[in-house]
Structure formats: structure tokens, C-alpha cells
Amino acid sequence: MPSPLEGRRIVLGVTGSIACFKAVDLASKLTQAGAAVDVVLTRGATNFLTPLTFGSITHGPVVTDVYDPQSELSMDHIAMAERADVIVIAPAAANTIAKLAWGFADDALTTTVLASQAPVIVAPAMDANMYEHAATQENVEKLRERGVVIAGPAQGRMASGLVGRGRMVEPAEIIELTKIALGKNGAMAGRKIVVSAGGTEEPLDPVRVIANRSSGKMGFAIAEAARDRGASAVIVSAPTALPDPVGVRVVKVGTALQMRDAVFAECRDADALVMAAAVADWRPVTAAVQKMKKGESDTWTIELTKNPDILAEASGDQLVKVGFAAESEDLLENAQAKLIDKGLHLIAANDITSPGSGFAVDTNKVVLLDREGGVEELPLMSKYDVGCRLLDRVERLLGR
Ligand code: PMT
């Protein structure tokens, strides 16, 4: 599956800030993801880096001067503005932010922004006092009200040695915001997709839990893929080590009962529920209030009671229900039974014995089964790509 950045045209504006070095990494990551990057450097930026630095990475045009007779694009910067799918300004210094807020067009970057209708992402980077200054705050607010996405800035140590808010956010976060901007009017715009992720934990006492090996990667990847096609994506997540994805709301839960309550609440106004979580089928009848002591006995008998089946019970107006079945034998038969028993539209039969598939890895191998008897076997692919293929099917179900 192509990356959401594949073949998209991005104008990367770089202004004079020591954070310029991060823009080189950003240009590289965008290019590697398949985007065509047109770089515009302000005069300030050229004090830190040269056009050659960016041109060597993007293999595309680098514009520094609207009036440069050597550059075809500088003379025709309107064309560059018009062909942009998104404009990213990173790092954005206070001066450029002020010029953008007031509509100046006195250099190649501000002219390009004014001449373009593409969405704009601005990643401020400056001294903390400059950022907190009332003038900068007003300018940033003005841009935000106009629909410009303001990325950061982050809190931390500045080049000056001072600590405060003014650090440019990391390129990885800007890449995610770029994908969101590109997918805003995508096929799932206006849809709400709820995804469960991770393995629930059932407490035995304040220290110990019954858990499983789910890392949450599959569910998180589906939510990111939904976000990238314009959906409002919500993850109901059991404990995981993963960072919250940019632009996705994450509701954190622990036990299966908590997951049920959160999933039901989120599904009230959702279009689809995708349960990628590994929900504990059983929980201890009682959890000890104090930590259990080893004592004299060599055994510990725990009485378990069944957890509710969240997916089977979930309901909503026209809710599309999608399940996963992690199986180590009789893959299709077991998945088929779950598809019917839980009243699903679609189930991903997940062969956890196949190398590179199942728990904790970045790839997965699934077979999609639908209630009409359709069987679609997918090759081993990244979990994000599995999410895309699954959402293609959800999209069709929503369009019924
Ligand atoms: O998180 P990762 O490390 O990336 O791993 C991904 C995964 C292997 C956990 C995932 O791809 C997967 O297969 N999830 C389903 C795990 C499972 O075994 O489900 P199940 O066969 O127990 O249940 C079938 C379906 O019913 C699942 O969608 C499950 O979320 C849901 N269920 C199960 C029990 C329960 N009490 N309530 C439920 O809603």
C-alpha cells in the first residue's frame, strides 16, 4: 500500500532558526515517504543551511528568491503555490509568523503562502520569551483562527541554554500532521471510527494481573489509517507502551469491564467499531485488596468468571462491526464461527503462528471474512497496511 504521502506535493518552507537542522531531517523523511518536496528558504534560513543541502535530499527545486533568474520556479512561484497539496513551514521563526499573520508577501515563502489555497502547517521555533510575547501570541492565534495548523512548539531546553516553550516539534510529529492535513477530506471524512487496542488486564491483587501479549500495535495502526482518510478516530486502549498517535483521541482503560463501558459510550455516535483488542475472556471473581503473600501453600487456586463479550453486545444505529480472531489452529473455521456468533460484518482471521504475524510485531497476516461468505487472503504486510485494507472494506460497508 502506498504511504498517504506518496505522490503528494509538499512545499517545505524553512526560516532562519537554529532548528533548521530538523528541517533537513523532515525533508528527508517526506522524500523517503514518496512526497515531492519543493523547498523555499528565507534569507535567514540560508544563514544556517544552503539550498544544496536540501536539493541533495529532495532532488527537487529549492527557491530562495522570487526574483532569481536562474530558477524557473522562483519566477513562476504562483505555479509552485498552486500545485502544493500542503505547505509546511518548519521551523517558523517569529518574523515569518508575523508576516503570515498580516498577509505580507515580501519574500518567496510568504508570497507562496498567499498565492496558495493548500492547507498550511506552521511549526514555530524561537526563544521562549519571543514565543510568549503578546505580539507573537496574537499572530499565532490569528493564524490558528484562519485554519492554519500550529504544531507545538514544545517545552524544553533552547539553543540559548534557557528552558521554556519554543522548541520546534520533532519531524515525526510534523509528518503525522501532514498526513492528517492531506486526508482531511478523504473517504472517511465525517465518520467516527472506534478501535479497541491492547490486552486488557484483570487484577488478582494490587500487584498482579492476568494479561496477554497484545502490544496495541494493530489497533493503533488501524486508528492512524482511519485518521489519514479523514475519520475522527478514537482508540479505546488497554495498557500499552505505545505513545498516543497524533490526531487520535485515546481513551485509556484497564480491565475488560472498563473497556466495555468505554466502547459502548464511544459507539453511541460511531459509524464503525473495530475490535483489535485481545480482551480477557475471564477475570478473577474477586481481586484481593492487599498483596497476596506466598504463605505455606505450594498452589494458588483462582476462581474466574466470564467477562462480557463486548463486540457481540455492542450496538448502535447502523454500526458496522469488525472483529479480529487470533487463532493458532483451524483459522478460518474458528474465525467464521466468531463472525456469526458475534453478529459481525467482517472479521480478520489472524494467523498468530505465521512468522511476522500476530502479537507485538509490526507486520500481520490476516484473512478477511465477511458475512456474505467472501474470503480475502492478504499477504504479510505492515499493520498500517492491514488497517488500510480493512478500512477499504469498512468504507464499502458504510456506503451501502
Ligand atoms: O496488539 P498487537 O500486539 O498488535 O497484536 C494484535 C492482535 C494479535 C491482538 C490482533 O491482531 C488480534 O488478533 N486481536 C484479537 C485477539 C483475539 O484473540 O480475539 P478473540 O478471538 O478472543 O475475540 C474475537 C473478537 O471478539 C476480537 O475482536 C475481540 O476483541 C472481541 N472480544 C473478545 C472477547 C471479549 N470478551 N470481548 C470482545 O469484544
pLDDT digit string, tens, across residues 209-255: 999 999 999 999 999 999 999 999 999 999 999 999 999 999 999 99
CA 150/CA 293 separation, integer angstroms: 53
| Residue 70 confidence (pLDDT) | 64
Gap from CA of 332 to ligand 1 centroid (Å): 15
Residue bearing cell 486502549: 237
Q: State the cell numbers at 89.
A: 513551514
Mutate to test the pocket of ligand 1, among 220, 242, 311 (most ligand atoms within 8 A of CB): 311
Q: Is 260 in the pocket of ligand 1 (CB under 6 A)?
A: no
What pLDDT does residue 73 have? 58
**What is the sign of the dihedral through the CA atoms of 109, 112, 114 and 120?**
negative
Q: Is the peptide bond before 308 cis (omega within 30 degrees of 0)?
A: no
Question: In Å, what is the CA distance from 182 to each residue of 8, 147, 166, 178, 189?
Answer: 8, 14, 26, 6, 12
- In this predicted structure, the answer to whether residue 400 has a pLDDT above a threshold of 90 is no
Assess whether 212 carries a catalytic annotation: yes
Q: Identify the pLDDT of residue 163.
A: 87
Q: What is the pLDDT of residue 72?
A: 58
Q: Does residue 183 surpass a pLDDT of 70?
A: yes
CA distance 203 to 183: 40
| pLDDT at residue 74 is higher than 60 | no
What's the whole-model pTM score?
0.94
Q: How confident is the model at residue 161 (pLDDT cuts 50, 70, 90)?
A: confident
pLDDT of residue 80: 87
Mean pLDDT value across residues 145-172: 92
Q: In which element (H, E) is residue 112 found?
A: helix 108-115
Helix, strand or coil, per DSSP, at residue 155: strand
Considering the candidates 95, 139, 185, 212, report the single residue annotated as catalytic: 212
Read off the pLDDT of residues 12-40 as tens digits, 9 standing for 90 and up.
Answer: 999 999 999 999 999 999 999 999 999 99
* 221 within ligand 1 shell (Cβ under 6 A): no
Contact in structure between 170 and 253 (CB atoms under 8 Å): no
* Cell numbers placing 195: 478501535
- From ligand 1's centre to the CA of 205, what distance in Å? 24
First to last CA, the chain: 24
The domains located in the chain, with CATH, are 9-183 (3.40.50.1950), 192-399 (3.40.50.10300)
- pLDDT tens, position by position, 270-323: 999 999 999 999 999 999 999 988 887 889 899 999 999 999 999 887 999 999
Higher pLDDT, 87 or 317: 87
Residue type, 265: A
Say whether pLDDT at 83 is over 90. yes
Percentage of the chain with pLDDT > 90? 89
**Residues 6 or more apart whose Cβ sits within 8 Å of residue 214:** 197, 198, 199, 238, 240, 277, 278, 359, 360
- In the numeric block, which cell numbers belong to residue 317? 444505529
Whole-number Å distance, alpha carbon 224 to ligand 1 midpoint, is 18
- Tell whether ligand 1 has an atom less than 6 A from the beta carbon of residue 259: no
Alpha-carbon distances, residue 320 vs 125, 197, 391 (angstroms): 43, 17, 11
Q: What confidence tens digit (pLDDT) does each residue in 119-152 have?
A: 999 999 999 999 999 999 999 999 999 999 999 9
Closest by CA position to 271, among listed 184, 396, 176, 370: 396
Cα Rg, the chain, nearest whole Å: 25
Sign (positive or negative) of CA dihedral 158, 18, 121, 35 = negative
Rounded alpha-carbon distances, angstroms, from residue 27 to 15, 21, 40, 92? 14, 10, 11, 15
Q: Residues 355, 357, 363, 368: what is their CA dihedral angle, to the nearest 10 degrees?
A: 130
User: 3-state class of 151 per DSSP?
Assistant: coil
In whole angstroms, what is the distance from residue 215 CA to residue 193 CA?
Answer: 20
Q: What is the mean pLDDT of residues 191-218?
A: 97
Closest CA to 64 of 42, 85, 90: 42
Residue 137 CA to ligand 1 centre (angstroms): 46
43 within 8 A of 107, measured Cβ to Cβ:
yes
